[in-house]
Amino acid sequence: MSHSTPYQVRTAVPGPRAAGQGTSADAFRKAAGLVDAKTIGLDDALRRVTGAQLGELLLPRFGPPEPGRGRRPLLTRGVPAAPGAATGTAVFDPVAAVDQAAAGERVVLIRARTTAADLPGILVADAVVITGADRLAGSAAALARGLGTPCVAGAADLRIDPAARRALLPDGRVLVEGDQVSVDGGTGELRLGAEPLAPSPVAHYLATGETHPADVPLVSAVSQLLTHADRVRRLGVRADADTAAEARQARLLGADGVGLCRTERAFRGPARTLVEEAVLAGSDEARRRALAELLPVQRAQLAGVLGEMDRRPVAVRLFDAPLGRFLPDRTALAVHLATLAAAGSPQDPHEVAQLAAADRVHEHNPMLGLRGARLALTWPELLEVQVRALAGAVAECRAAGGEPRPELLVPLVASSVETELIRDRVRRILDATAGESGGTVDLRIGAVLELPRATVTADRIAGTADFFAFGTDDLTQTVWGLSREDAEAGILPEYLERGILAASPFESLDGAGVGHLISRALRAARRVDPGLRAGVYGSHGSDAASIRFFHTTGVDHVSCRPQRVPVARLEAGRAALGHLD
């Protein structure tokens, strides 16, 4: 890959370094100080700080010790391998970590050696502690940094006994699975008990405008450089936001809008069954009834996000999940029902129907299956519900005095025929419901380019879409032929470890492959429509090297997780200055 990243994978754990937040804070204070002293200008100051440093300054940390109590006892100190602080239950096994995280526990995964089998555990852990310091530990630490998960490596004092689910310390103390522990990945500390966590002063200031007098120099340095980054950056910075709370957080952290609102996320938790009912429905009438129940839930989600992001663009993406995601796990359900049958116990007819539906919608490769534009075209009633929900949400916001600015994203487009047909249908649905939704909705409809074919035929698609969005996660998956879900627990760590890859293409944009297709697509599309606007969403939206690439390529905005918005703003400003490290 042609781009490096500050979260580069190292082949071994780095040696001990100064606490992350300290160094990063110094960089900001020093740069701002030189500006105050008129030694350098703001551009130069911005060049001297990085998004990675700001990212560290935004991570939560341990709050002041509780009065009269002091810090929790130190168990050991290892190598600070990924910054941030977290508390949780000590777990010595990745499978247990996954189970406990699924049950809502905060989990600290503690391992002697990490292999591919640990990856699912690392993905769900709130912090990771590794006693080894080899190349495998280095890969795991790199992954943790990419995930924003605190990690301590080389904690060699801990002698883990996995069978007994405990760890021994040289002084005779014993850490037992289930104990509460606290990890500071910036200092390398592992403590017994739950330290109180606090937002960092910078995060607190950005979210509230308030700060402690002692933090004023740091906070104003960050604020000064972020403001300058906003002044010089050409790239818009939006956030992924599926809920009003996320949209609010994004707005407070300076997002220019929402780059990705996932409509299917309105149906997580108990609301999942609403989609399940529509899939299970045995008759047209039952399906219509089930779809009608989706509408208010979808509308409430969209009204919440549009309301919080008032007067700023909100890109709402049509349903993009395989339908199997809304049904119980097929294998587990088959086993459950077979067990009942074998025991002669009665089977729940609803579960029998669920299994039949799960079999029906089962796909060998759901990543390459029925979702996005394909779902909208083959299940037009679902598209109608979604568009009507959006129109209703707009009406609701307007009635409350707002000026909502929705955009519609059509995902998984492979051919311009798809965008053309969906655009026609959406316009017709909007026309038909103009009366009930309180006026016309001026909806710009964008094509999501996340399949190689869409990038190669971008000139044709440009003629059928109002704007483009590149979905870089899925585009990376199809360009590489690599299922992220499978690869992050298998081939990727192996490839990183063996040096076949220098960095995960899911963390830093693969310039030679994915990036090449994006820049060709943009050039071709703008020959047809010179004013065509294009955004990006995906894990790359706040990665420094990727942002530099998007800036250079002529992308108009990136979108990232709300808490990463300040990082993306800073890096977008740095990218605009050029001549970077």
Residue 460 found at the interface with a second copy (CB under 8 A): yes
Rounded-to-integer distance, Cα 93 and Cα 111, Å: 7
C-alpha 62, offset from chain centre = 24
x/- mask, a second copy, residues 355-374, rule CB under 8 A, reads: --------xxxxxxxx---x
Residue 415 found at the interface with a second copy (CB under 8 A): yes
Residue 481 found at the interface with a second copy (CB under 8 A): yes
Single-letter residue type at 151: C
Residue 424 found at the interface with a second copy (CB under 8 A): no
Residue 287, C-beta contacts closer than 8 angstroms, at least 6 positions apart? 278, 281, 381
- The tokens describing 97, both together, are 């970590």
Select the residue interacting with a second copy from 157, 177, 494, 529 (CB under 8 A): 494
Residue 486 found at the interface with a second copy (CB under 8 A): yes
Residue 346 found at the interface with a second copy (CB under 8 A): no
- As measured in angstroms, the least distance from the Cβ of 330 to a second copy is 6
Q: Could you tell me if 115 and 95 are in contact, meaning their C-beta atoms sit under 8 angstroms apart?
A: no
> Cα torsion for 199, 203, 207, 212, to the nearest 10°?
80
Select the residue interacting with a second copy from 89, 457, 464, 472 (CB under 8 A): 457
- As measured in angstroms, the least distance from the Cβ of 493 to a second copy is 10
Helices (H), 442-532: 452-456, 458-462, 472-480, 484-487, 491-497, 516-528
- The tokens describing 35, both together, are 């500006």
- As measured in angstroms, the least distance from the Cβ of 424 to a second copy is 12
Buried b / exposed e over 170-206, threshold 16 CB at 10 Å, is eeeeebebebbbbbbbbbbbbbbeebeeebbbbbbbb
**CB nearer to a second copy: pick between 276 and 418:** 418
Residue 281 found at the interface with a second copy (CB under 8 A): no
- As measured in angstroms, the least distance from the Cβ of 89 to a second copy is 25
Report in angstroms the alpha-carbon separations of 35 from 317, 499, 517, 580. Answer: 43, 42, 40, 19
Residue 490 found at the interface with a second copy (CB under 8 A): yes
**CB nearer to a second copy: pick between 74 and 102:** 102
Residue 330 found at the interface with a second copy (CB under 8 A): yes
Q: Which residue has the tokens 């129907």?
A: 353
Q: Where does residue 427 fall: left (phi above 0), alpha (psi -120 to 50 degrees), or beta otherwise?
A: alpha
**CB nearer to a second copy: pick between 339 and 440:** 339
Rounded-to-integer distance, Cα 366 and Cα 128, Å: 31
Residue 523 found at the interface with a second copy (CB under 8 A): no
Select the residue interacting with a second copy from 77, 272, 483, 577 (CB under 8 A): 483
The residues of the shown chain that bind a second copy, judged by CB under 8 A, are 330-331, 334-336, 338-343, 363-370, 374, 377-378, 412, 414-415, 417-418, 421, 450-453, 456-457, 460, 474, 477-483, 485-487, 490-491, 494-495, 498, 500-501, 510, 512-514, 516-517
